[in-house]
Structure 1
């Protein structure tokens, strides 16, 4: 994977995979238009990486064919001490290790280069694939939020996951 900032060239593929029902299922959107992608790009363009109280999206491109496979979102907060992550990958690239590789590299960057103390993630309790992915990366489930979000017409449960820098370093040894 090549991890990089988004370009205008990415927007058609970006809105394409985000508009797939199986990709949008656990996301805050149901449809994702070209206009949504343009607004996203305008918001992200010029946004500084590691700026507190921001969400920064990282494009995940396949080395072999330069296809945009997905994206990793990073929310920087707590005065630079913590980050929250999220991941969205095109359904045609899911289950092939791309999301694991992208998240692993982003987590390494956050802990090793940016010296974050803790990384968190919130996952829909029905999203077994992302739960498994986070657990494979060393995250532990810290919380079960019962019917805490009215999501797409129904009350849903979510799980809170976290990983400490010390835990990451220990598992890397």
Structure 2
């Protein structure tokens, strides 16, 4: 599976992605609102990459897109899509290397995935959730047209504490713009 934007290629994971994945997922700031703990050892990253590489973007369940910068062909993050059994709904999540944040890469990557899900594949709904303290992710989702549909008070136990979760949804009829022109 390959998606392309002006600056990015979203592709299947490869074995050589283990070291850069371990690097960005080992950053405590990147891992803060995620389910894993930093650091991520190289052998663990290699197992994760193998698992990601085996996934299917067309079948129900999770599929992880590797986000690669065209300019220097380096892995800078990932976008995960969990396709529902009915193939008309999905959930998504995203992670971007700390030093690559603030340049619009996450918005560009997520928007490209949304364009594919709603455009080519004809999905009806995509949902996402994030830790309520993760204001940057919530802002990105809103900028891409997601509507905050709820708040789960202390809905998750993460890294030894109860956290609030923001719930977002986006319908195909809500799409306002393309991946290549995020507001």
Give the TM interval when normalised to the shorter protein. over 0.9
Distance 1:13 1:42 in 2: 14
Q: TM-score, normalised by structure 2?
A: 0.89
What is the aligned counterpart of 2:17 among 6, 10, 16?
10
Q: What are structure 2's unaligned runs of at least 5 residues? A: 1-7, 179-183
Kindly report structure 1 stretches of 4+ aligned residues shifted beyond 4 Å: none
- Alignment partner of 1:65 is 2:72: yes
State the 1:149 CA deviation. Answer: 1.1
1:81-139 C-alpha deviation (Å, 9 max, x unpaired): 10111000000000100001000100000000111100000110000000000000000
- Which of structures 1 and 2 has the larger relative contact order (alpha carbons within 8 angstroms, sep 6+)? 2
Matched, 1:56 2:63: yes
- 2:27 aligned with 1:20: yes
How far apart, in 1, do the equivalents of 2:119 and 2:111 lie? 12
Q: Given that residues 92 and 126 in structure 2 are in contact (C-alpha distance below 8 angstroms), is that contact kept between their aligned partners in structure 1?
A: yes
Q: What is the number of residues matched between the two proteins?
A: 170
The CA distance in 2 between the partners of 1:50 and 1:131, in whole Å, is: 27
CA distance in 2, matches of 1:91, 1:57: 19
Task: Output the aligned Cα RMSD.
Answer: 1.2
Say if 2:44 is the partner of 1:36: yes
